[in-house]
Amino acid sequence: MEKLTGRKKIKTAVFISGTGSNLKNLINFSKIKKSPISIDLIISNTNKAKGLKYANQFNITKKIFNFQKIKIVEKQILSLMKKENIHFICLAGFMKILSKNFIKKFDGKIINIHPSLLPKYKGLYTHKKAIENKDKFAGCTVHYVTAKLDSGKTILQKKIKITLNENSISLAKKVLEQEHKLYPAAIKKIFN
C-alpha cells in the first residue's frame, strides 16, 4: 500500500448493515490528525441500519442501495465512488457479499473486520460457535477482502480469553470493545 507521508487523507467509504458501532469508532478515529483516512461516504444495503444515523450526526454523505440486482448496484456504487473520489473501503458489519469483479476494481483497498480469530469461524454466529466448541480464546481480525468470504490476508488480529461462564452475549461485548481498538490500528498499519 502506498505511503501517505505528507499527503492528504485518503477518502474512504464505510459499508454497513447494522448498528454501526465500528462506523462511529472509525469516524472518530478519522478526525484525529494522525489518521491516514477520512470518512466521506457511508453505504448501506438497508435503510434499517441503525448506524445510518451517524451520517446525519457527522454530516457524511450516505447512500442506500438495494442489493437485489447486484451487478447494477455495484456499477452504481463504483460510479458514486469515482465521483466522490473514494480510494479505500472499510466494511463494518456489512452483510452483503461483493462480487469478484467489484473487489478486483478495488484490489487491496477493501478491508473488513470479523469477530473471530480467522481462519477459525468464517461467516456468522462466531461467538456462539466459540462457546459451543469450548474454545479457550476468541477475538477479532481485520483482513483484506477477497472474493472468498472472510479469507483474505490478515492485517491485525486480537486474541482474548473466554472466561468461565461466558455466554455469546458477554463474549460479543468483549470482542466488540477490542474491535474498536483493532480497526484503527490496522488502518494505521496499512498506511504508515
Pick 4 or 154: Cβ nearer ligand GRF: 154
CB of 8 to ligand GRF, least distance (A): 26
DSSP 95: -
Q: Closest residue (Cβ) to ligand GRF?
A: 93
CB of 59 to ligand GRF, least distance (A): 20
Write b or e for each residue in 118-140: b if 16 or more Cβ atoms lie within 10 A of its Cβ, otherwise e: beebeeeebbebbbeeebeebbb
- Inter-residue contact 171 to 138 (CB < 8 Å): yes
98 alpha carbon, distance to own chain's centre = 13
Q: Which one of the listed residues 87, 114, 127, 180 is annotated catalytic?
A: 114
Q: Which positions lie near ligand GRF, rule CB under 6 A?
A: 16, 18-23, 51, 92-93, 113-115, 140, 176, 179
CB of 76 to ligand GRF, least distance (A): 23
Which residues 6+ apart lie within 8 Å of 73 measured at CB? 65, 66, 67
Pick 36 or 139: Cβ nearer ligand GRF: 139
Preceding amide of 184 cis, omega within 30: no
CB of 80 to ligand GRF, least distance (A): 21
Pick 88 or 183: Cβ nearer ligand GRF: 183
How many other C-beta atoms can be found within 10 angstroms of the C-beta atom of residue 81? 20
Query: Does 114 qualify as catalytic in the annotation?
Result: yes
Pick 71 or 122: Cβ nearer ligand GRF: 122
The residues that are catalytic are 114
